[in-house]
């Protein structure tokens, strides 16, 4: 297993997630980011991974133009970053702190 510092994992996770969004004609799920973080930070608690995930998603939404996708229409949902933070908490709670691909929120980028 790969272990990194939290700061390194954060920067690498942002690049990884942005790469998925930029290189794809499709959307990307929250589970790709959380799985990447769990792989890089295997000794961190689910709460630490959740907090880091929220921090990364907030930054990506507010600075990089990432947005939540309405899964029914495939368009921008208009959900704010504050609402997404609550949704991430719900996803972590519903998955016992281990969301994976297929669990949760879809994202796109302009």
Kindly state whether residue 57 falls inside one of the protein's structural domains: yes
Kindly state whether residue 84 falls inside one of the protein's structural domains: yes
Kindly state whether residue 110 falls inside one of the protein's structural domains: no
Kindly state whether residue 36 falls inside one of the protein's structural domains: yes
Q: Report pLDDT for 110.
A: 80
Look at 22 and 81; give whichever has higher pLDDT: 81
Kindly state whether residue 103 falls inside one of the protein's structural domains: no
Look up the pTM and report it: 0.90
Kindly state whether residue 108 falls inside one of the protein's structural domains: no
List beta partners, residue 76: 69
Strand order in the sheet with 66-70: 28-29, 106-109, 66-70, 75-76
Look at 21 and 94; give whichever has higher pLDDT: 94
Tally of domains within the chain: 1
37-86 pLDDT per residue, tens: 999 999 999 999 999 999 999 999 999 999 999 988 888 999 999 999 99
Kindly state whether residue 26 falls inside one of the protein's structural domains: yes
The residue range of the domain holding 78 is: 6-96
Kindly state whether residue 109 falls inside one of the protein's structural domains: no
Mean pLDDT computed over 88-105: 87
């Amino acid at each position: 297993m790969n272990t990194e510092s939290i700061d390194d994992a954060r920067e690498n996770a942002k690049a990884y997630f942005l790469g998925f969004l930029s290189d794809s004609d499709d959307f990307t799920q929250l589970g790709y980011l959380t799985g990447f973080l769990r792989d890089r930070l295997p000794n961190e608690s689910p709460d630490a991974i959740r907090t880091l995930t929220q921090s990364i998603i907030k930054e990506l939404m507010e600075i990089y133009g990432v947005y939540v996708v309405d899964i029914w229409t495939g368009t921008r949902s208009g959900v704010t970053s504050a609402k997404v933070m609550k949704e991430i908490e719900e996803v972590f709670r519903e998955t016992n702190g281990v969301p994976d691909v297929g669990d949760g929120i879809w994202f796109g980028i302009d």
